[in-house]
Amino acid sequence: MNKKEIEVQGLKIILVKKRVRNIITKIKDGEVVVSAPYYVSQAEVINVIEGQQDWIKKALNKAKNKNTNAFLRYESGEKISFEGKEYTLYIVYNNKIKINKFAVDRSSLIIKIETPNVEDKEKIKTAIDKGFKKELKRRIDEFLPECEEITGQKVNFYTLRKMTTSWGLCHIKERDVVFSTQLARKNDEQLRYVIIHELTHLIEANHSSRFKEYMTKFMPDWRRIKRELNS
Ligand SMILES: [Zn+2]
């Protein structure tokens, strides 16, 4: 296998030559990874990528929307999406603390990380992930009772997990729900939609027409909210 970085029409592409039959384009951790057989020339690969440009850009945006943290360099001034709004990240040096401190200023749309080591991006990332998780938990605890009332369904407990392919999961038998930590970046309406969606699975396991009828009853505008959540 050999791997190199190329640029096609302003897009950064990681080109991997390996034993595959066809040229395969994938979005992985927010990056475009193209696998191609050894015998295919770079010009040929570029030609294929150019033909996929629109698709790649769309897929990249979608990935970015699902997992912005993959794109962050953890520097002051960077934009970070949180609770449905665009926040600015501030990394502030503070040698008086041992553990990085996370703070949200909702009126000025600022997320501040105080840290004794501004170079330690890994710890800054951890502080943000932890802070996001705590704020998400607070919002779920706030919305869950009203969503349970609306659906008439109660869960035994819920957990938060890092998931990028779905917003939530419902274990029907155990009556527990798993929410994606990525929901920290989504607005209240979208979070409520995911909660109601998972609770509705306690009535109807599949996304059947019956499921959709319940959704409409519980949340008349759910189709629009779902579209916005995934756009
Ligand atoms: Zn579902």
Report DSSP letters for 59-91, one per residue.
HHHHHHHH-GGGG----TT-EEEETTEEEEEEE
Establish if 21 belongs to a structural domain.
yes
* Residue 212 forms part of a structural domain: yes
Within-domain flag for 70: no
Other C-beta atoms lying within 10 Å of the C-beta of residue 153: 19
Cα 193 from Cα 179, distance rounded (Å): 12
Residue 150 CA to ligand 1 center (angstroms) comes to 17
Q: Give the Å distance between the CA of 134 and the centre of ligand 1.
A: 24
Residues 222 and 150 in one domain: yes
Is the model's pLDDT at 30 over the cut of 80? Answer: no
- Mark which of 131, 155, 172 sits at the end of a domain: 131
Q: Say how many domains are in the chain.
A: 3
- At residue 28's C-alpha, the angle toward residues 27 and 33, to 5°, is 65
Q: What is the mean pLDDT of residues 97-118?
A: 96
Chosen domain end from 100, 116, 131: 131
Beta pairing class for 79-82 and 85-93: antiparallel
Q: Kindly state whether residue 74 falls inside one of the protein's structural domains.
A: no
What is the mean pLDDT of the segment spanning 60-83? 79
Find the 31 Cα to ligand 1 centroid distance in Å: 28
Whole-number Å distance, alpha carbon 231 to ligand 1 midpoint, is 17
**Three-class DSSP category at 4:** strand
SS3 (DSSP) at 9: coil
**Is the model's pLDDT at 67 over the cut of 60?**
no
Among 183, 206, 208, smallest CA distance to 193 is for 183
Categorize the per-residue pLDDT at 31 as very low, low, confident or very high, splitting at 50, 70 and 90: confident
Residue 187, both tokens: 């607005």
How far does residue 205's CA lie from ligand 1's centre (Å)? Answer: 8
Q: Are residues 220 and 139 in the same domain?
A: yes
Residues 202 and 161 in one domain: yes
The pTM of this model reads: 0.74
State the CATH number of the domain containing residue 163: 3.30.2010.10
**Do 125 and 177 lie in a common domain?**
no
| Contact residues for 28 (Cβ-Cβ < 8 A; gap 6+) | none
Question: Is the pLDDT at 1 greater than 80, yes or no?
Answer: yes
Both 91 and 16 in a single domain? no
Domain that holds residue 27: 2-65
In a domain, 61, yes or no: yes
What local confidence, expressed as pLDDT, does residue 116 receive? 96
58 lies in the same domain as 92: no
Domain-embedded: residue 165? yes
Q: Is residue 72 part of a domain?
A: no
Supply the pLDDT for residue 62.
75
Same domain, 138 and 224: yes
Q: Ligand 1 centre from 33 Cα, in Å?
A: 29
Task: Tell whether 147 and 170 lie within a shared domain.
Answer: yes
Last residue in a domain, options 65, 99, 118: 65
The answer to whether residues 164 and 209 belong to one domain is yes
